[in-house]
Structure 1
């Protein structure tokens, strides 16, 4: 019986920043902070650019507000991501194995913490 199939792989552009803090735990934590912080700041920039385009006006105050919002959101989400990445790595190193139950528990607690953190901010 003849068979058909598809073989290949999909990949996305990958950006890695190497910052050596002298400790793998710190390296992973800082990496998570920088990557997710940059994503959050980019999201705010795109959202504010869309709103400025939609309004048809741009002022110095709006740009300053957008920059402050970018830094704030980047720091918030970067912190959550850094803590998550550090906790995941730390637990994996302590236990000596990668356990899905423990990782799911850390993920659930990270989501709950992020939700409480965001709820506190608003």
Structure 2
């Protein structure tokens, strides 16, 4: 076995051991910072994959036929092209639009996850208990903050996102351990 193959296996094993041992990939000097950074990186990666997969789906659907009637009617015109400049052809502008859009979406996912994770950790430390109340408050604040990143946000949209964030995080907290 070559030494480069050994190094790759060692790195992969080391990365897998972080989750098993409860240690963090990052050591920024404080558990709160470590948790925020790790959540940010994981969620940003998921956001990037989701953004690219969604755009690939829309390019594939639009490539089915020349007529826009081939696109399922439930997909609105606004959702067809989340990334301005992507129109199904492959050129420099298309790649640039994909990279910019994916970066923006990755940043949004990462900020939301880092903020939620940091808030739940901070509330647990401040209150001395980790319960559904911490999750509800962290979800509400994160939902409201996330709604502020959308274009043309309104007071009603901010409140709806806060309620949705609180409901989802509370349900996730309450269902932890059941499944």
Normalising by structure 1, we get a TM-score of 0.75
In structure 1, stretches of 5+ residues that fail to align are 1-13
| Alignment size in residue pairs | 108
Give the one of 99, 123, 126 matched to 1:67.
99
Give CA deviations for 1:19-38 in whole Å, capped at 9, x if unaligned.
22121100110111111111
For CA contacts below 8 A with separation 6 or more, give which structure has more relative contact order: 1
Partners in 2 of 1:21 and 1:120 — Cα distance? 36
Does residue 104 of the first structure (1) align with residue 136 of the second (2)? yes
**What's the offset of the Cα at 1:120?**
4.8
Cα RMSD after superposing both structures: 2.3
Give the one of 73, 76, 92 matched to 2:124.
92
Partners in 1 of 2:124 and 2:135 — Cα distance? 9
Partners in 2 of 1:50 and 1:63 — Cα distance? 16
The 3-state SS of whatever aligns with 1:18 is coil
Give CA deviations for 1:59-111 in whole Å, capped at 9, x if unaligned.
22111110111111111221121111011101101221113223212212211
Report if the CA contact (8 A) 1:52-1:58 is conserved.
no
